Amino acid sequence: MNRVLVLNGPNLRRLGTREPDVYGADTFDDLVALCRDTGRHLNLHVEVRQTDDEAEMIRWVHEAADERTPVVINPAAFTHYSYALRDALAQRTAPLVEVHISNPAAREEFRHTSVVAGVATGTIAGFGLTSYVLALQAVAELLAEQDAKEDTTT
């Protein structure tokens, strides 16, 4: 069973109370349950983490790179300005999917730029918590493709 880290940036533990008109009424615990359940269905071991600390997020990204662990990441506010996070993510050694609950392109101007998108395998945004389900499905598919390639070369 492949391990996948689902990393969440600042303020995401406040889901359910933070701007429910933008992020919905589901809580962070609901997100954790959804990701773990989705992972079980996809034969993935999903570990969900959240931090408001940029340095901690970077440490987790380094851990994933060192262990060749796929990552689904909602960088939250780090999306728009954290070149340190972007540089850490550029060291990835496994699939990396950027995910957002809302659609940043449909929001304030400062949210339109993602400094991490250029180093991600892909980005999924605007589907509420379903964005995470889609991201985990993408990771599962990418891992299956990778395994199939390895099988044909051995």
Active site residue 41: no
DSSP state of 18: S
Q: Does the annotation flag 102 for ligand binding?
A: yes
As a whole number of angstroms, the distance between CA 94 and CA 143 comes to 9
Select which of 81, 100, 112, 132 is catalytic: 100
Q: Which ranges of 42-129 does DSSP label H, i.e. alpha helix?
A: 54-67, 83-89
Consecutive H or E run containing 100: strand 96-100
Q: Does the annotation flag 80 for ligand binding?
A: yes
Q: Does the annotation flag 87 for ligand binding?
A: yes
Which stretches does DSSP call E strand in 24-70? 44-50
Active site residue 23: yes
DSSP state of 13: G
Q: Does the annotation flag 111 for ligand binding?
A: yes
Q: Is the dihedral of CA 99, 68, 95, 114 positive or negative?
A: positive
Select which of 23, 45, 62, 132 is catalytic: 23
Q: Where is the binding site for substrate, in residues?
A: 74, 80, 87, 101-102, 111
Q: Where is the binding site, in residues? A: 74, 80, 87, 101-102, 111
As annotated, the active-site residues are: 23, 100
